[in-house]
């Protein structure tokens, strides 16, 4: 008897669950509320042609997007979309180094998009938006919005309106670090026999990304291609995201080709009690040296040339992963397994730092 009663109660709950779930599905389907996909700047890979098509030079006054700053009856930044746009064609790109939000619209038929954004304003909560422009390329339309800082985004697409909420990084992620692969573009760093330090630091960062992507740690990268952000922009990224630490990856060089080993540079100007720059430098050197079975050269105070480390207001250190001018380390720094071990050491240092070592 009791068993039959229990079965009836269970059946009732099952029916209620199914009805509730179906109602929710029908509601969202009818209202077309869909979360829009987003990608970080370090995940946006473009060809040379795409970079040229979307370069700032292409942005002219006639492509200006009008921002209606009077209509602010919502907490969202509201971006109208042409009737032909489907949610699957819309992607948010977080260009955090440039402090820009890009809304990428991919469509086979973009006739009228230019006229649409010349006649339609964006509106809503625009206090974090400085300006907006649109660009039409061969297969995409880009809506580029200059922002007041670095943000993460929450978004929905409903009734041909893209609603975007700007969220400070620390409200989304508990653990945040900035990884800064040194050099880039015309600044090659130490060079030996056609091998550039800028390529080595970038390879280490790419391996680190594969490791940190599997954790709950949010990592912002100052570059993930052959670009060279200004030193102040690299520093600003750590400040804007309220990062727990900034780790710069460098390669060393010396006129004396016999000099080799690993060392770490720390910020001695900005004292942080508890875990500061010198503690970060120490754990970085120890873990990288252990991972590569190398030689520790010790910790070094940042000089005037170490602008990124000196200007940082968070725990900041540069790990110099070897001497490209040394014959043996020149060979090692070009080996994939050695790059992986360097990245493993940096990764271990970050994990131990969070563990409170």
Tens of pLDDT, residue by residue over 261-304, are: 999 999 988 777 789 999 999 999 999 999 999 999 999 999 99
The CATH number of domain 34-167, selected from 3.30.70, 1.10.3210, 2.60.120, 2.60.40: 2.60.40
**92, two tokens:** 């948010």
pLDDT (tens digit per residue) in 145-198: 999 999 999 999 999 999 999 999 999 999 999 999 999 999 999 999 999 999
Interval 106-121: pLDDT, tens:
877 777 788 899 899 9
Q: Where are the domains of the chain?
A: 34-167, 171-355
Class of the CATH-defined domain 171-355: alpha beta
Q: Is 32 left (phi over 0), alpha (psi -120 to 50) or beta?
A: left
- Number of helices and strands (H, E) in the chain? 10, 17
Average of per-residue pLDDT across 225-240: 97
DSSP E strand boundaries for 31-150: 37-40, 77-80, 90-95, 100-106, 123-124, 129-136, 140-147
> What's the pLDDT score for residue 314?
95
Q: Are the C-beta atoms of residues 92 and 37 closer than 8 Å to each other?
A: yes
Q: What is the pTM of this model?
A: 0.86
The reply to whether 171-355 shares the fold of 34-167 is: no
Please say whether the beta carbons of 250 and 262 come within 8 A: no
């Amino acid at each position: 008897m009791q068993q039959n009663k229990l079965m009836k109660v269970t059946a009732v709950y099952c029916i209620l669950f199914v009805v509730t779930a179906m109602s929710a599905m029908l509601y969202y389907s009818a209202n077309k509320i869909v979360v829009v996909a987003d990608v970080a700047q370090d995940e946006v890979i473009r060809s040379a042609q795409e970079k040229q098509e979307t370069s700032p030079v292409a942005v002219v006054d006639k492509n200006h997007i009008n921002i209606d700053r009077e209509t602010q009856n919502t907490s969202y930044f509201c971006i109208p979309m042409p009737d032909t746009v489907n949610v699957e064609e819309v992607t948010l790109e977080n260009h955090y180094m440039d402090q820009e939000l890009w809304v990428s619209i991919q469509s086979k038929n973009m006739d009228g998009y230019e006229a649409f954004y010349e006649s339609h304003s964006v509106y809503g909560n625009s206090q974090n938006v400085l300006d907006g422009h649109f660009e039409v390329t061969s297969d995409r339309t880009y809506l580029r919005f200059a922002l007041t800082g670095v943000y993460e985004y929450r978004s929905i697409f409903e009734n041909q309106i893209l609603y975007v909420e700007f969220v400070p990084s620390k409200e989304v992620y508990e653990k945040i670090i900035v990884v800064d692969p040194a050099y880039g573009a015309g600044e090659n760093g130490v060079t030996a026999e056609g091998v550039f330090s800028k390529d080595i630091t970038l390879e280490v960062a790419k391996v680190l990304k594969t490791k940190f992507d599997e954790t709950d740690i949010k990592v912002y990268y100052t570059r993930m291609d052959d670009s060279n952000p200004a030193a102040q922009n690299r520093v600003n990224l750590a400040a804007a995201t309220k990062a727990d630490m900034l780790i710069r990856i460098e390669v060393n060089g010396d006129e004396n080709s016999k000099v080799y080993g690993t060392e770490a540079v720390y910020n001695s100007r900005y004292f942080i009690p508890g875990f500061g720059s010198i503690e970060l430098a120490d754990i970085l050197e120890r873990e990288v040296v252990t991972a590569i079975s190398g030689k520790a050269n010790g910790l070094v105070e940042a000089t005037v040339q170490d602008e990124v480390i000196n200007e940082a207001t968070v725990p900041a250190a540069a790990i110099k992963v070897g001497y490209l001018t040394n014959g043996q380390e020149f060979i090692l720094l070009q080996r994939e397994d050695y790059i992986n071990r360097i990245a493993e050491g940096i990764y271990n240092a970050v994990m131990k730092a969070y563990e409170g070592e």
